[in-house]
Amino acid sequence: MLLPKQTLSEAARKQYALFTNPFDGEVISDAQMFINGEIRFVHETAWQAAVGGRMVAVIGESGAGKTTMLDDLKEKIVREHRPVVCIEPSVEGMEETDTKGKSIKSAEIHAAIVLTLDANASVAQSSEKRSRQVKRMLEESVQSGRSHLLIIEEAHALPVPTLNHLKRLHEKMRLGRRPMLGILLVGHPELEKKLNRFDVREVMQRTEIARLRPLGADLSTYLQLRASAAGRKLDEFITPDGVDELRSRLTVKGPGQDAPVSLLYPLNVNNWMVAALNTAAELGAPRIDRDVVRAA
C-alpha cells in the first residue's frame, strides 16, 4: 500500500485543469503546512530541543512528515531570528555496522560540531583533545549568546554504542547547569525499538519521544488544505465516499497483526490521490469516487 512517487498524467492535468500538482508531497509554503494537535506537539517538542537543550527523538514512518518537520524548524529559527546553530553530521552511507556502509561514531560527531562552529578549525586527533576542543568551542559560542542543536537524521541506523555516546555528550556539554547542546534524533520506528533495548536504557530514560502518527480522522481536512493551497476545492477532485474508501484502502491488517495498521501518512496519501486522479482520467470519471479508488 506504499506507492512510489506518482506523477500526474497529461490526461489528468487536462481533465482537472491542473498546471501544478496540488497533491505533490513537497511543502514549500505555510499554506501547504498541515498542522493538527499531534503534529503541533511534535513540532513543539523538536523546538524545545533547539532552544532548551533537550534530547528528543522524533519517530515516524516513511512519508510521515519528518523532513517537513525539520524544514519547518529551520524556517522558524530564521523567521524568529533565533541564535540557534544547527549541527548536522553527514549521514550519507550511514548504516548500523560497517558491513554495508559506514557507521557514524562520536569522532565524526565531534568533528561536525567543530567544523560547524569554525569551518577553518583543525579537528584534534586524539579523543581526549577532541572532547576538550568541542567543550571549549561550545562554551565560547554559548557565552556569545548562541544555542546549539545537533540534528541526526536516519537515526534508526545509529549503532548502539553511538547512542550511548550521545547521551554522555549531552550530559557533559554543559555550562554550569545549562545544557550547551540539544540533540534531535529523527528516524523510523526502528529507532524507538532500539531505544527500548536494555543496553540503551540510560539513553531512553533521558530522551523525550515524539511520534508522527497517521492522519486518521484528519484525512479529509488534510486533503482540503492541499486543494486550498492550490486555489481549488476538494470536491472538484474527490467525493466524500471517495475519501472514505481511500481511508479504508489505506487501513490494512497484515499477517500476524492483531489490529489494523493505518498507512494514512501525508506522502502516501498524496501518491494515492495522484494515482486516483490518473485512474479517473483514464476511466472518464468526473471525480474520484469509491469505484475509482478501488480501481486505482
Q: Start-end ranges of CATH 1.10.8 in the chain?
A: 10-20+230-295
Residues pairing with 184 in the sheet: 56, 151
Q: What is the pLDDT of residue 24?
A: 86
Q: How much is the pTM?
A: 0.92
State in words which class domain 10-20+230-295 has. Answer: mainly alpha
Query: Which cell numbers hold the place of 262?
Result: 493505518
Q: What is the pLDDT of residue 1?
A: 64
Q: Which residues of the chain have pLDDT under 70?
A: 1, 254-255
Query: Which cell numbers hold the place of 242?
Result: 471517495
Q: 36-76 pLDDT, tens per residue?
A: 999 999 999 999 999 999 999 999 999 999 999 999 999 99
In the chain, which ranges are E strands? Answer: 55-60, 84-87, 147-152, 174-175, 178-179, 182-187, 208-212, 251-252, 261-262
Residue 33 · residue 72 · CB < 8 Å: yes
Q: What is the pLDDT of residue 135?
A: 97
Residue 121 · residue 87 · CB < 8 Å: no
Instruction: Indicate the SS3 state at residue 70.
Output: helix
Q: Start-end ranges of CATH 3.40.50.300 in the chain?
A: 32-212
Cα–Cα distances in angstroms (integers) from residue 247 to residues 23, 64, 165, 208, 225, in the given order: 16, 16, 42, 30, 17
32-212 to CATH, choices 3.30.1300.10, 3.30.1330.10, 3.40.50.300, 3.20.20.70:
3.40.50.300
The phi and psi torsions of 211 (rounded to 5 degrees) equal -110, 130
